[in-house]
Structure 1
């Protein structure tokens, strides 16, 4: 029961974009229970959210060795390999997951993402063409399909697919980001030749080359900022309380200007933490 509660707490932290907190929670747990597959899977996700694919791969491989046919382990193994530019391994792991559970759109989405990262948009679009007919209710899948369509030079179909994602989830951040990227790419397209060039440039932007530093997700950045702000707020409040106690006991004379400075600093840190926490809740 305690293990289930801890994993549920990790899931909640990850869902709110607090990957740093989730990693801190999971690190001693997987140390105590190295045979727990779920702990390693969540650790892989947390490390990817923090922009650390090398450590994510270590965690994903630990989960995969414990559960070599588990689709969740294969999913995170594929994702970690993709972020490191190990595309053959990423595609193989995602394809294996799809074979284990062929009706799961999330796994087909991972396979298509691995193919896009490898510079294979035609394979991604073709692979998703039949899947979206069966799982058109999955917004993430529709966004990836739209990205693949744009990368092979079909911008109208790409916008339609992303539009379907927004119809499913109007606030879908990935869909809105994709539309912005489409608009930027199309700004240079004036004829068939320039459209083909824009599609090629877009496809290239989706590729992950070995050794290229991975882009941090917005949620991970917000999580790190919020964590620093929270810790700063805690320190300022502790100093403020300590100064007040020493002043009250007559052991130290604290000038009023110092109280004002500490209160202002604590208030600023509190505002930053509140804003980042609100942003995570909306994400």
Structure 2
């Protein structure tokens, strides 16, 4: 078994003139060296080769398609458009990799990647045809196909395989979390719409009646509290503020009062939220 030597330090007592202190002492140990991981080495080598091939494919396609488009437009615009041909199928391949644990979701980027690759290869071949060098154009187009094929095989080899049961469990978890994430903007939209409705209703109501009246049946009025107006119309927020100003802060009493003088269908959550805001110190 192969070993490697490693130098470490430890503290040992050292005495001088009868006084002892701990000092550092260096020592060596021999640690076993694990065998070389040839699988990882080969995988790294293939990944490097795939990156080089992909780079060469992008350079060739960009130069070929750019030269073809340069026949009609200026060079900067031609080569800027040419580079998108390969970037589209490369991006689709990356999206397919991200959806590797969700086969139905990976179908769309896989199909789009194949279509984009076919368009790029056809454009390279057309450049060869335009220059009366069709064999060279076809050969250049094959380079993009080989790069795509190599990356497809490489990603398939490095993707862990899940059992059908594990994949169904992952899809169920993903669906549940996706539903929770999707409800966040929906709740925000509903809250915004509710605020708009309340503002619209408030703008259509007349000035609340300020004549005092007896509190609603069953509502407990604290000692020394002012009498609550018994009739509206008034907005929900005005009704809550009126109740608080009169010393009525018990939630159920406030809810009954708001539904009596403002809106019989007022939501309890909205009333309580307005009550908390009204009771908040300025």
Structure with higher Rg: it is: 2
TM-score range, shorter chain: under 0.3
Larger helix fraction of residues: 1
Q: Which one has the bigger strand percentage?
A: 2
**TM-score under structure 1 length normalisation:** 0.27
Which structure's relative contact order is higher, taking Cα pairs within 8 Å and 6+ residues apart?
A: 1
Output the TM-score relative to the length of structure 2. 0.27
